[in-house]
Amino acid sequence: QSALTQPASVSGSPGQSITISCTGTSSDVGGYNYVSWYQQHPGKAPKLMIYDVSKRPSGLSNRFSGSKSGNTASLTISGLQAEDEADYYCNSYTRNTTVVFGGGTKLTVL
Amino acid sequence: DVHLLESGGTFVRPGESLRLSCLASGFTFGAHVMNWVRLTPGQGLEWLSTIDESGHRTYYPDSVRGRFAAYRDNSRNLLFLQMNSLRAEDTAIYFCARANALDSWGQGTLVTVSS
């Protein structure tokens, strides 16, 4: 089970939009609409931001959105804020009834 | 509010065993799939196991299958992870998380494996 591919880092200025990609295969990302995204601040537990590709948990800011095209899922954060600086991870259900995470992306707000 | 509290993390030597616990509150524990995930410095998050609502079905990645075993006690709202033949590379913070979407997480418990 190979990890999903995410960029190691992305950055943006306050107010801008950024997109983090998450690339897998037809056996995971491309084969199922079960991609989730998590935000993790240092020393804190991960927090669910997006599930089932594009659904937001209740109460989560609509600045966060998810999408998928083929074997690549994406997380977009609009109106970037300082508190968005964190690590972001994607995961996907796989054909083998397992779960695979991406390697994580460090978001820096300039 | 959903609350998950992991415990049992400690320092162990390679080859030893350890059992982690996760105490759930604030929701109907027996109605939810549960998971274990770990965070390794430099490697990120790794999914370790999923156990169904009844505890009868469990799933693992190849990296821990046969060494780790998840089980649950729905009468006490407890989830467990039995870890055997521990290796240095198992050093990590271990989290329990609720549901297939991992919608709620505990704060984690640190396991250190070193000689």
According to DSSP, residue A57 is labeled: P
- For B:42-61, CB contacts with A below 8 A are 43-47, 50, 59-61
Q: Which residue of A has its CA nearest to B45?
A: A101
Q: Which of A44, A45, A91 sits opposite B47 (nearest CB)?
A: A91
Inter-residue contact A91 to A29 (CB < 8 Å)? no
pLDDT over 90 percentage in chain B: 97
pLDDT at A2 over 90: no
Q: Which of A1, A45, A100 sits opposite B108 (nearest CB)?
A: A45
**How much is the pLDDT for B43?**
84
Inter-residue contact B74 to B55 (CB < 8 Å)? yes
**How much is the pLDDT for A97?**
79
User: Which of A81-90, B12-21, B35-44, B91-100 is the least confident region?
Assistant: B35-44
**How much is the pLDDT for A1?**
62
**How much is the pLDDT for B30?**
97
Mean pLDDT, chain A, rounded, equals 95
CA distance A30 to A78: 25
What band does A96 get if pLDDT is binned at 50, 70 and 90? Answer: confident
Q: Is some CB atom of chain A closer than 8 A to the CB atom of B99? A: no
Q: What would the pLDDT profile of B80-91 be if each residue is shown by its tens digit?
A: 999 999 999 999
Which pair of tokens denotes residue A56? 């937001």
Q: What would the pLDDT profile of A47-78 be if each residue is shown by its tens digit?
A: 999 999 999 999 999 999 999 999 999 999 99
State how far residue B61 is from chain A, nearest Cα, in angstroms.
6
